[in-house]
Amino acid sequence: MTPEGAGAEAPHYVVERVRDAIARAPDVNELDLRVPVVGGKVFIAGTVATPERREAITDIVGGLLPGYDVQNETDVLTLSNTDGINGEGGIRLAAVGDMHFGVESAGMMDPWLEQLSAEADVLVIAGDLTRCGDPEEARVAARELHSLPIPKVAVLGNHDYHSGKEHAVAERLEEGGIRVLEGSSVVLRVRSLALGIAGVKGFGGGFPGACGSDFGEPEMKAFITQTKHAAKRLEDALASLDGSVTARVALLHYAPVRGTLLGERPEIYPFLGSYLLAEPLDRLGVDLVIHGHAHAGVEKGVTPGGIPVRNVAQPVIRAPYRLYALG
């Protein structure tokens, strides 16, 4: 394929074909890069995990679009982006989501594990540990984090369900020392403090003024019923945490508020989260809500009741993880 002429924008299918190739390449697996093609130039923007992936992306795009001038403007995740905190006397929580490990992702976490273990007391992962829900991808993710000497807690995401093997994915993660929550909770001891984490994947449905209802076709009823069940599982998990915990965290994949979705197309908000997930949070109370899934959203939001919500999808935080101090 050759350039279409100076100033002419390539058809959308060309851009999507390039993005699909980048996502599917086993040595890349990057899902959220922007690839505008204008005239004879291809611009690649976003954040990648390693310098090696950055080089591989240039080769892939150059091979797909010979004759174009490839401008790779991607950033590589660095430890300087972690916004490290002291957290002395409290609980230091590291959080990340949407890491999308592939079967060829071995070594992706190596540059960050030492500092992560020094900076954090607990790591929580807000879903989408795998790219396509392959148990082998989950095994790679677990192996990558196995040497991290702090507790690791996760919920699954929609990518982890894609192949219909979510139970096997959870088993591989648990075998590697990652506690997987779904409508359940765990209490972790951090020195003299106790951290309670309630977790559920969640589901879509939308937000006040633009949300679905369980009315009409069976498929629509099933869609909203799934969200109601997720909200109930979250409520039960929160209720299982007694008053002795120092801090309470809700861990989800789907968003419970609209605020952290800003930047995403409003048309897809119903597929990114639901206000039903926020109701048990405000009713029972937590100190912090963590979620992922909305790759083009923003980090900070708040529930109607004033609880801080953080979208830690890796494409949003543009860092290996984000740190929060609790207690």
Rounded to the nearest integer, the mean pLDDT of the chain is 88
Residue 162, pLDDT above cutoff 70: yes
User: What confidence category does residue 2 fall into, taking pLDDT thresholds of 50, 70 and 90?
Assistant: very low
Per DSSP (E only), the strands in 68-227 are: 69-72, 75-76, 91-96, 122-126, 152-155, 178-180, 184-190, 193-199, 206-207, 210-211
User: In degrees, to the nearest 5, what angle opens at C-alpha 325 toward C-alphas 234 and 311?
Assistant: 50
Contact 326, 287 (CB under 8 A): yes
pLDDT surpassing 90 at residue 245: yes
Q: Where exactly are the structural domains of the chain?
A: 12-76, 79-326
Q: What's the average model confidence in pLDDT over 22-27?
A: 73
CATH architecture for segment(s) 79-326: 4-Layer Sandwich (3.60)
- Which candidate, 72, 140, 153, 84, places its Cα nearest to that of 112? 84
What letter represents residue 35's amino acid?
V
Averaged pLDDT for residues 30-39: 72
Is the model's pLDDT at 118 over the cut of 50? yes
pLDDT band at 5 (very low <50, low <70, confident <90, very high): very low
Residue 227 has pLDDT above 50, yes or no: yes
When pLDDT is averaged across residues 70-82 and rounded to a whole number, the result is 67
DSSP one-letter string for 247-275:
EEEEE-SSBSSSGGGBTB-GGGGGGTBBG
Minimum mean pLDDT range among 64-78, 149-163, 219-233, 250-264: 64-78
pLDDT bin (cut points 50, 70, 90) of residue 27 is: low
Report the pLDDT averaged over residues 311-319: 93
pLDDT(131) > 60: yes
- Lowest-confidence pick of 7-21, 167-181, 194-208: 7-21
Q: Is 68 exposed, middle or buried (0-12, 13-18, 19+ CB in 10 A)?
A: buried
Residue 244 has pLDDT above 90, yes or no: no
Using the 8-state DSSP alphabet, how is residue 101 labeled? B
State the pLDDT confidence band at 61, using cuts at 50, 70 and 90.
confident
pLDDT band with cut points at 50, 70 and 90 for residue 186: very high
Least confident window among 31-40, 157-166, 258-267: 31-40
Domain 12-76 has CATH 3.30.1340.30: yes
Per-residue model confidence (pLDDT) at position 222: 94
Task: Taking residues 149-165, report their average pLDDT.
Answer: 97
d(CA 317, CA 246): 26
Q: Please, how many CA atoms are within 13 Å of residue 315, restricted to the half-sphere of its CB?
A: 21
Task: Return the higher-pLDDT residue of 35 and 284.
Answer: 284
